Amino acid sequence: MAFLELRNLEKSYGATRVVKDFTIGVEEGEFISLLGPSGCGKTTVLRMVGGFETPSQGAIFIDGKDVVALRANQRAIGMVFQAYALFPNLTVAENVAFGLKVGGVGRAERGARVAEMLALIGLRDLGDRYPFQLSGGQQQRVALARALAPRPKVLLLDEPLSALDAKIRVSLRTEIRAIQKRLGITTIFVTHDQEEALSMSDRVVVMNGGRADQIGTPFEIYNAPTSRFVAGFVGTLNTFDAVVTDQAAGGVTLDDVPLVIGRRLPVAAGQTVGIALRPEAVQLGRDPSREVVLPAKIVEVHFMGAVVRIAAEVAGRKFTIDTFNRVDMPPPAVGKSVEISIAARDFLILSDPVEGGQPRL
Amino acid sequence: MNRFMAWIAFLFGATYFALPLLGMAEFSLSMRRGVYSLDAYRAVLADPQFQATFAFSVVMALFTIAFGILLVVPTAFWVRLKLPGLRPLVEFLTLLPLVIPAIVVVFGYLRLYNTSSWLPMTGTAMGTNILLMFGYAMLALPYMYRAVDTGLRAIDVATLTEAAQSLGAGWGTILAQVILPNVLPAVLSGAFLTFAIVIGEFTMAALLDRPAFGPYMQILGANKAYEPAALAVIAFAITWACMALIQLVTRFSKHARAQR
C-alpha cells in the first residue's frame, strides 16, 4: 500500500458529482500535483484529504490508516492556503509555534523548532514581526513553516502561489520544492498553472470533470497525453481529426493530404482518429530527416523574446509553430509561402473515441 | 458659503445638545447659595446607597458582559461559518429587544419564573440576579451581536478556522485563541456599550426589585434637588469614559492596525 492512498473517492453536492471515482497512491516523500481548470474537483480532493470535506464514498489511507472518520485536527496534515491564513494577532514566531503549542510541545522544544523552521524559510530575523508587516511572499513562507513545524505526515498546498506576483511565484516554487525534498515530506499540490505543476512535481494528475484524466510524470504528461483534454490543457497543441487509410502502417489523410504516422493506429481504416502536434515539433523549412514536408503560408507572427510563435496555414488549417529566436534568422514575413517539416514520431495519437466522426470535446 | 452653512448647522446642533447639559452641570454645582461648589457631588459620593447600588450594577455589568461574550461570539462565529443561511433570522432575533419594551419582557419573566412556576428563579436573591443578568444580556444583544458580527466580517473566518484545524486545534482552542483575539476590539466595543446600558437600566431592575443604580437614580431624583443633577453628570461621565475606551482600544489594537 502506498503511503497516502485515495481509493475510489467520490464527492457529491446534491445531484452534482464533483469528484468521480478518484484513485491514486502517493509514495512517501513524493510530490504530486493536481492540475486542472477551475471546477475540475482538484481542491475538493485536497480538502477531503485534509478533513474539511467528507467523501460521499471511498477511502483515504495515510500511513496505512483509514482517516475518513477522523476530524481535520486529528489527521496530522499540514496545509498551506492561497490566502496565507496567518493568524493576524500572532507574531511570525507565534504563528509557527501554534501547532506545536496545540500539540502540547514544551516551551524549550517549541522555541528550538520555531528557530529551525524560520531558518529553513530564510526568515530567521523576522520572528517578532506581525503578518501585516510582511510581504505576500514572506507571509506564504511563514505559512509553509507553520504547516511544517508540527511534523505532519502529509503536506497539502492549495494554490499557494496564485496570490503572488510572477517573479516571487517562480522563486518560491523552487524554494518550496527544495524544502519538500530536503524534508522528504509527502506533498499534494493543487494548481491550475501547468508550468508550476510540470516544474515542481514527481507526478502530475490532470483532472477534468471530477476525474483523473491522466496520472504520470511531467515528461509523460507533456509528451504522451492520452486524452484530448490533457493534450489541450497541458501546453499548446495543434489537434486534427484525420481519416485512417492504413491502420497497421499508420496512414491517414488530412483533408486529402496523405500523412504517414508510422505506428499502428487505434481505429480501423475509414474511421476518424484524433492526432496532435506540439508547436515546437513543427519545423519551419525543409528538413530531409523528417518524414512529412508540407507547403504552408505564414498568417501570423508573434515575437515573444526567446520564442517566436508563428501561425501558418496548411491545407486550409491553422498550425501553430514555435521556434527559438536566432540572431541570424529574423521571423518570416506574414503572407510568405514556406515549407514545414514534421517527424512522424512527433505526432501524438489521442486515444479518446471520436464519436460519429466528431471529437468528444 | 456651503462651509459657512455647515458650521451654522454644527453650532446649532452642538448648542441643542450642550445647553441642557451645561445647565444641568451648572445646577449641580449650585447647592451652596451664591458660590459654585461640589457639595452635591460630595453628598452623592458619600451616600452609602450610591456606593452599594453602583457596585451592584458594575458587578452585574461585568457578569452580563461575560455572559454576552460567551453567548454571542460562538453564535456569530457558527452562523458565519456553518449556517450563513440563518443570518437574516439571527439578525432579526437580535433586533427584537429594540422592538419589545423591557417592561413586557420583565412581566414575561415574572410570569414564567415566579415562585409558583416550574423554575422559581425569583424565589431567591441570587436567582433574581441571574434573571436580571439574562434580561440585561438581552437588552445589550443588538449592540453586542452587531459589533461581533462586524468584527468577524473583517477576518477570513473560514480559512483561519481551517488553518487552525489543520494545526490540530479543536473548537475551544479555535474560538479562544484564533477567533476571539481577532475580534477583540469589536467584542470590547460591544462590552462597553453593554456596560453603559446596564449602569443606566431602570425598568428591569426596579420591577425585579434589585438594588441597582438605575432605580437609585430614580429615587434620588424624586426626593432631592441638586444631587440628581450631580448624579446625572456622573452617569454621563461614565458613559463617555466607555466611549473613549472603545476609541482607545480600537486605535491601539494590533489587529485594527493590520486592517488599515
Residue at B3 is within a domain: no
pLDDT at res. B216: 92
Residue entry with cell 488599515: B260
Helix residue spans in A21-91 (DSSP H): 42-50
Residue at B242 is within a domain: yes
Residues B30, A112: Cα–Cα separation, whole Å: 68
Residue at B100 is within a domain: yes
A50 has a chain B CB within 8 A of its CB? yes
pLDDT at res. A46: 95
pLDDT at res. B172: 93
Partner-chain contact B173 A102, CB within 8 Å: yes
Q: How close A103 comes to chain B (CA, Å)?
A: 7
Strand order in the sheet with A238-246: A257-260, A251-254, A238-246, A272-277, A348-350
Question: What is the overall mean pLDDT for chain B?
Answer: 89
Q: Write out the residue range of the structural domain in which residue B94 sits.
A: 36-259
Tell me how far CA of residue A97 lies from CA of A124, A147, A278, B176, B247, in angstroms: 14, 10, 48, 16, 32
| DSSP tally for chain A: helices H, then strands E | 8, 20
A98 has a chain B CB within 8 A of its CB? yes
B181 has a chain A CB within 8 A of its CB? yes
Residue B258 has pLDDT above 90, yes or no: no
Residues B33, B25: Cα–Cα separation, whole Å: 15
pLDDT at res. A253: 87
Tally of structural domains, chain B: 1
**ipTM (interface predicted TM):** 0.82
Residue at B28 is within a domain: no
Residue at B4 is within a domain: no
Q: How close B92 comes to chain A (CA, Å)?
A: 29
Residue of B160, B162, B166 to mutate for A, most A C-beta atoms under 10 A: B166
pLDDT at res. B119: 86
Which domain CATH number covers B88? 1.10.3720.10
Residue at B186 is within a domain: yes
The low-confidence residues of chain A, meaning pLDDT below 70, are 351-361
pLDDT at res. B253: 64
Residue B251 has pLDDT above 80, yes or no: no
> Can you read off the three cell numbers belonging to residue B189?
466595543
pLDDT in tens, A1-18: 889 999 999 999 998 999
Residue at B15 is within a domain: no
Q: Which of A50, A89, A132 sits opposite B166 (nearest CB)?
A: A50
Helix residue spans in chain B (DSSP H): 2-28, 39-46, 48-81, 87-99, 102-113, 125-153, 157-166, 171-173, 180-182, 184-200, 203-207, 213-223, 227-252, 254-259
B168 has a chain A CB within 8 A of its CB? yes
Residue at B22 is within a domain: no
